[in-house]
Structure formats: structure tokens, C-alpha cells
Structure 1
């Protein structure tokens, strides 16, 4: 009888005592601040260079800032500059970016300067990629290197977790994004202890990173779209349809990635691959216009400022062009991440839906479009929901997104991801 009772007693996960968590606070704070400052430093330097390349220089030459000719010149020149870094700088700016995701490998210190330089040049030059993947990789490499020297007895696996959390917190201006991503990672792993015990140090690093970025750079994702009130049945239908269309569009990019990547790989040399990528990106920019350049965060704010300022056809062209530019930039060797351009694609898609069917509220269309595209591109449900919701500050949107995510997830789960193995095949 006693044995039966013991078998029926619920198992209780032992909590970590506070004295075991306290020593992690200072290292986590240090990692958070350093990672955030590096991210902000790279972005600020890239913005300064972007002003020179896209404003001061064409003005001095008497050329239109975003004329077709200048966009071609700048994108090809960026391909040449990044190609030189990949070719000549020690470490070759890290591994093939098409093989990297948010879960970054630990790179040796010799690789990191070249990767930072290639990322800054890419951000300033206009290719459709964001800073997240390479900066996470740089911060992970720095954290492991410096942390191992400062605290040799600390578990080696703690430093990548702290650096990734800190960088995500700085990128999105809140530790919530990092907590969601890390909890998703922990769910796939066999971890001991309570969830919040495992999240304690990374969440501390993420909080330090987000606060540092907020104090230094003031990031904001709110698009200031028309206010959205209580959701109705039509809003639920619209969000589900737009999210599914976004997921299908994203899957088109996922399916195309290995083929486009293989085509550029046939050129064999970075001084051929990257300038050729610049030529293709220049042609796409000529079709889609200057708003389809760069990582896309400032550009979506311009789109959202006037949701009725473009026709449905113009929004559709920008959606397709930006998605194609994302695939090309990720395939030819530019160092960058895919989240921010995917947000632009989803935003343009949502505004296209609003232009086609005025009954689709801009906030509903944008958030649902971003959700669907991000689910396909990142294959991370929490981060997709978070980014889609944070663009539209409205409690009613969150319930719609949770429902819309279900059919969209069924379209993407179990299918290839937008990340390649070293042999060029898609990760599943």
C-alpha cells in the first residue's frame, strides 16, 4: 500500500536555491551591457556610413540619391567590399551565412573582426538583411572567449546562452523576446530544474541588454497604425487568411533558397558571388524602389505612416521584390539575418490586403502578415507572435494572432527551414 502511494505521488522538480543563482547575476549583467553596446555600435557606425553613401556622396556628385543607376552602383560596390572582406580578412567573415540561424556557433576570435566589418558594410550598403544573425555570432564568440578568461570555472555552455539572450534583448528593446526564444530552446532540450531557474541568468542578461539599448539608442517597433478596437468575426477571418498567405509566401522563399544558393555557389569565389548578388539586388531595387533596400525597419515605418499611400499592386510588387531580395542576399554570401526583412515582407503584404479589401483593418493585416511570414522564415512560434504583436500595440490583436497562428503553423511545420546544411540541403 505504501509502495502504491509512492508510485502515485506526483514528481516535484527541485528548485535551485537562491545562493546558486546569485553568482550568475554579475556575469549576466556584464554580458548584457557589452553585447548591447556592440550591437548599437555596429548599427550606429553603419547608419553613419549609410548617410555618407546614400546622401552626401550622391549629392556631391549631383546624382539622384535613389536613382536606378546609383542603386546599382551602391549594391555592386557593397558586394565588392564585402567580397574583399570575405576573401582577404583573416577568418573570412565566418561560415556561409545561409547555414547560420539564431542559434549561433562559437566562432574563434580571429573570425570576429571580419564578421563585424562585413556586417557593417552590408547594413550600410543596402542589401535586404538585418544584423541579428552575425551580431549574435560575434557576441557569442566574444562571450565565450572573454568569459572563459575571466571565470574559467564557469560552465562553458552558459556564455552562449547569455550572449544570445542579451543580443535579442537589445535587438527588440525588451527581454521578453529573449525569454520566449530561450524557453522554446529549453523545451527542445532535456534540462533539469524549473523553467525560471534556467531562465534566470539569460533573462538577467537580456534585461541588461534591452535597458542598455533603450538608454543609448531608444529602439521602437510600434508602427503607429490606426487604432484597433474590439475584434470581430471579420477580423478573425482576415487575420487567419492573411497569416496563411504570408506563411505560403515565406515557404516559397524557403523552397527557393537552396536553388539560388547553389547557383551562386557555382561562381566559387566571393569576389564573383557577392558582386553578382549586388547586380541581382540592383535589378530588384529598380523594380521595387528604394523602400525595398536595407534591413527594412525604417522602411516599414514609412509604409505604415500612410497605409493608403500606395495601391494594392504597388504593395504586392514591394512584397515580392523584398522577398526575392532576401533570398538573393542570403544566398550570395552577404552576412546578415532574415527577421527584419521578413517583417517588411509581412507588413507590405498586410497593407496589400488592406488595399485590396478596405474592410481589412491595417493593424490586422500587418500583424497577421508579419506573423505568417515569420513563422515560415524563422520557424519559431513565440518570436513570430511577439514581433507581430509588438508592431501593433493593441490587446485585441493578440487574441487574433494566437488563433491565426494555428492554421499558419500547420502550413509550415515539418517542412524545410530557411537554413542550409554545409552540403547545401535544407535543414528540416
Structure 2
């Protein structure tokens, strides 16, 4: 009887009264302190986006010079020779080793540990930027997303006085996350991805979640407008992750789902295997970091050169973040045969795994390329189409590497553009399967690195 009575009594909402949580949220949102925090978040989005634009543009220009202009000047007009990654990665190791050993911040977050961790202090900023601008253009199999997040967070913290950070650590954390979100939104090409990533990673709920997301959404939205507009004004490439051309897609059928589930599981196995290699590499470089980092950089060069040697294709396809190669695969999914795709997955995974535990950069972009290559390699299976293979690869790889299935699905849906309405159900299933398999297989961080 007590339970029946409880269910029939009118709720606070039915009586026109606000729930306690809603009234508390309203009070915080309208408080002068929170309104000042929102204003600061909005203002932070502008300088963060401009600095991110400069960082990405410089990184792309250096990459273009090292992998296209310089080989062409030396007489290799069609593509760099197969051995090209050997000297470039050796140079990357020699140049970045002193940064990792001697400079404050040690080059920032180790990519095998995830997206970037908490906001980095401003004093670590020079080593983070320098390490990324050394290893990324010279061919490390990493992306720019983690350095960008660290850059945005550190710049945001610079906008908050040290005394204020110490007096209000929660507000400083929110501002730091807003700066990181503004920076990461630029490279993903959409401010919504960064915000969803922050929400899903935070694991918060109720009013706390909204208090965090509003500054992040504001900073990333303003930052994205400034970043994109500045790119159009200068004519420089902004380097946002995008697929300008895609294979024709139809509504996935039963065959797409039947093959999509094991393919998503396979992608998770490959991603987790490369991460395990990254953990082993991180343990290896923990002691005698300088010389062992050089050894690992050379090993990355060997893997990249081996792909070019065995496939007869450009080593650039297996080097760098993989963003350009991902666009090529989407535009011409049959340009590489199954054998070349298998070689790309094998050597790119090895190069990426070693880079995760020794160099500096982001873990997401190479993982997405590996997943897309696996999906396309499997697209010749009976009843499994090219567009479905690419969709599964994009969603499954993102979920496996980030551990954030909602973020991975959203990013994949945005990447496929006009195909999103048809491909979304398949991508949701693929991301879920990959997330579950990766979570079951992923090992804990070694005790000495925890």
C-alpha cells in the first residue's frame, strides 16, 4: 500500500515546483562567478584557436617540405624512396631525446596513456610544442590531437592567475578543459566532437555535467569559427580531419551486420595489440630515455621503410598521422589491393605501437587509418560492401582506441557526411562491439608507469 500511495502522489514537477537539483543548477548558472567563468571561456577560445591554427599550419608545412619538396629537389619526383623514413626518423629521435630528458614537462603526455590527461602546467608548454613539431613532421606514427589538447589547456591556464588557480582549483580545471576542448575541436573539424569527448571521458552526471559542458561548448564553438575563418582568410590548410570523397553507400543489409560484428572485433584486437606494444616500449624507454628513444625512433623508420619496400608504394602512406592516407583510401578504396592493405595494417600498427610508448603525439589518427584499412581489406567478403567496410573501420577503431564509443560513433558519422543516415546503425553496432572487445582485452598499465 505504501508503494501504491507513493506512485499516485503528484510530483514536484506536476505541482509546478522545481526539483532541488534544477534550482541548484539555476542558482549556479546565474551566479556572478559562473557568468565570469563563461565569459573567460568564450574569450579563451579565440587565442587558443589562433595558436592551434599556427601550430597545425606549421606542422603541415614542415611535413610537406620533408616528404614532398625535399625528395623532389633531390630527384625523387614521383614519391620518396623506400629508405626515406630511416634518416628522417633517426633525426627525429636525435632531436627529441634532449627535449624529453632535459626540458620541463618532458615533451608532455605519453600517448600510450590516452588522449592527454589533465591540463598541463604552462611551464611544460615549450617542451610539448617542440617535441610535437620535431617528431610529427619527421614521420612518427602519431597525430596532432594530444599536443593540441595540451596546448589549449596550458594556454587557458595562463589566462587564470596563479593565485586564483590555487584559490579555486575547480574553476581552473574547468577553464583548462575548455581550452583543451577548443583546441581539439579544431582538428576534428567540428566543435561538438570535442564536447562529447569531454563529457564521456568525465563520466559525470546531472548538474555537474552541465556545469562542465557549457564552458567547453562555448570555447570550442567560438574557437572553431575563428580557426576556420582564419584558414579561409590566409589560404592555408587547416588540417581538420575530413573525408572529401566517399564510396557510394546504401542501407546496410543483414550481410553487412553479420560481417561487421567480427570485423569490428578484429579491429579491436589489432588496436589493443598495438597498444600492448606501446606499453612494452614505454617500459623500455623509462630508463636511459635518451638513447632508447633514438632506438625506438629508428625502429619506427624501419617499419615504415619495410612497408614501402615490400609493397612498392610510397613510405609516406605508412608514416605520419595517417590523415592524408585515410582521405586517399576513402576517395579510391580499390587503389590498394588486399595484399597492400594487409601490409599497411601490419607495418603501420608496428610503427604506431612503438611510437605510442616512446615519442610524443596523439593516438587517434593512426588508429582510425588502421581500422579503415582493415575494414576495406575485408570489404570483398560476400555480402559486405566497400562503404560498409569503411564505416565499420572508422567507428570500431575510434571506440577501441579512445574507450569512448559515443564519441567514436559521432566522429564516424560526421566523417561519412551524406552517408550518415544509412550507415549510422551499422556504425553504432561496430563501435559497441569494438568497445566491449577492447575493454575485455586491454591490459592495465605496468606498475612502473602507473
TM-score by length of 2: 0.84
Correspondence for 2:26? 16
Distance in 2 (CA, whole Å) between partners of 1:59 and 1:406 is: 45
Aligned partners of 1:243 and 1:370 also within 8 Å: no
Does residue 110 of structure 1 match 2:123?
yes
Q: Say which of 353, 356, 361 aligns to 1:327.
A: 353
Give how far 1:265 is off. Answer: 3.8
SS of corresponding position for 1:111: helix
Judge which range, 147-156 or 30-39, deviates more.
147-156
Aligned partners of 1:254 and 1:376 also within 8 Å: no
- Residues 305-354 of structure 1: per-residue CA shift (max 9 Å, x gap): 2111111111111012111111111112x110100001110111111112
- Residues 13-59 of structure 1: per-residue CA shift (max 9 Å, x gap): 21425533543332112222222222221111112222332233333
Does residue 76 of structure 1 match 2:85?
no
Distance in 2 (CA, whole Å) between partners of 1:398 and 1:273 is: 44
Correspondence for 2:41? 28
Q: Say which of 94, 109, 113 aligns to 2:108.
A: 94
Correspondence for 2:152? 139
Does residue 229 of structure 1 match 2:250?
yes
Does residue 120 of structure 1 match 2:130?
no
Distance in 2 (CA, whole Å) between partners of 1:408 and 1:70 is: 35
Correspondence for 1:37? 50
Give how far 1:407 is off. Answer: 2.8
Structure 1 spans left out of the alignment, 5+ residues:
none
Label 1:358 to 1:71 Cα distance change in 2 as closer, same or farther (>3 A): farther
Give how far 1:161 is off. Answer: 2.0
Structure 2 spans left out of the alignment, 5+ residues:
13-18, 232-237, 309-314
Q: Say which of 175, 188, 195 aligns to 1:179.
A: 195
- Residues 49-100 of structure 1: per-residue CA shift (max 9 Å, x gap): 223322333333345752123221111111111113223444432354444x
Aligned partners of 2:252 and 2:422 also within 8 Å: yes
- Residues 132-186 of structure 1: per-residue CA shift (max 9 Å, x gap): 1122123212212322369767622221221122122212121211221122134
Give how far 1:293 is off. Answer: 0.6
Aligned partners of 1:339 and 1:378 also within 8 Å: yes
Does residue 245 of structure 1 match 2:266?
yes
SS of corresponding position for 1:200: helix
- Residues 268-322 of structure 1: per-residue CA shift (max 9 Å, x gap): 132x122212221121112223201111111111122211111111111101211
Q: Equivalent residues in 2 for 1:338-357 (5 A)?
A: 338-354=363-379, 356-357=380-381
Does residue 390 of structure 1 match 2:414?
yes
TM-score by length of 1: 0.88
Aligned partners of 2:142 and 2:352 also within 8 Å: yes
Correspondence for 2:296? 277
Label 1:415 to 1:209 Cα distance change in 2 as closer, same or farther (>3 A): farther
Distance in 1 (CA, whole Å) between partners of 2:267 and 2:344 is: 14
Aligned length: 417
Does residue 293 of structure 1 match 2:326?
no
Correspondence for 2:235? none
